[in-house]
């Protein structure tokens, strides 16, 4: 496992890194680092219009940059932190690059305090995607991800090597919630 200083250095330098988180093993880059998004796209061999989600340190951080329809804010607060990715309307404070081609921001607050602390220390969210090249199946565990991307700095925040379900993906930008992918979190939250 890479040390915290190595992880911070790599992210601040705009490099992609591997992280075992509370959903699938992922490949990540710092949204504020010059070249970070491009490094992530290159590692995944992803097309230029391929959107990525952002991992935030806290609910408050998300709500500065993206807003659900008013009817869903309380439910969103009860679902986070956790394995739920929400599509939100970006606020004026959100950098344009953070919005997907449809104009929405994909955000998640992980349920791992050490990862949230790292994101807070970096001062900006992390771009996040499953650890695989575009069109291929996601890595089944951290070892498989490291075999596919052997030169990347990596860390295990989840305390396990196996992947679990991806996050649930729900569009909360309109008058009705739309579940786009069932995953590890229920929607609506219980």
Lookup result for tokens 């229920």: 186
Domain ranges (residues) in the chain: 4-181
- Residue 53 has a pLDDT of 96
Report how far residue 13's alpha carbon sits from residue 98's, in angstroms, rounded to the nearest whole number: 19
Report the relative pairing of strands 126-130 and 53-55 from DSSP bridges.
antiparallel
**Ranges under pLDDT 50 in the chain:** 161
pLDDT at 49: 85
List pLDDT tens digits, range 5-18: 999 999 999 999 99
pLDDT at residue number 100: 85
Q: Which two tokens stand for residue 112?
A: 């791992």
List the one residue out of 135, 130, 144, 143 whose CA is nearest residue 183. Answer: 130
Class of the 4-181 domain? alpha beta
pLDDT at 160: 65
* Cα distance between residue 42 and residue 36, in whole Å: 10
User: Quick one: pLDDT at residue 41?
Assistant: 96
Output the pTM of the full model: 0.95
């Amino acid at each position: 496992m890479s040390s915290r200083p190595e992880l911070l250095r790599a992210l601040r330098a705009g490099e992609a890194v591997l992280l075992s988180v509370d959903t699938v093993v992922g490949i990540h880059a710092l949204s504020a680092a010059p070249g970070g998004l491009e490094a992530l796209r290159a590692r995944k061999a992803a097309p230029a219009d391929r959107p990525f989600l952002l991992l935030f340190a806290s609910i408050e951080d998300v709500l500065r940059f993206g807003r659900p329809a008013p009817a869903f804010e309380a439910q969103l607060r009860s679902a986070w932190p956790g394995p739920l990715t929400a599509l939100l309307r970006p606020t004026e404070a959100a950098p344009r690059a953070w919005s997907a081609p449809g104009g929405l921001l994909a955000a998640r607050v992980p349920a791992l305090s050490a990862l949230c602390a790292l994101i807070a220390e970096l001062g900006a969210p992390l771009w996040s995607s499953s650890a695989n090249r575009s069109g291929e199946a996601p890595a089944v565990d951290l070892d498989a991800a490291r075999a596919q991307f052997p030169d990347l700095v990596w860390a295990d925040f989840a305390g396990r090597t196996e992947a679990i379900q991806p996050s649930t993906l729900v569009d909360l930008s309109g008058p009705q919630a739309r579940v786009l992918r069932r995953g590890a979190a229920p929607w609506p939250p219980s």
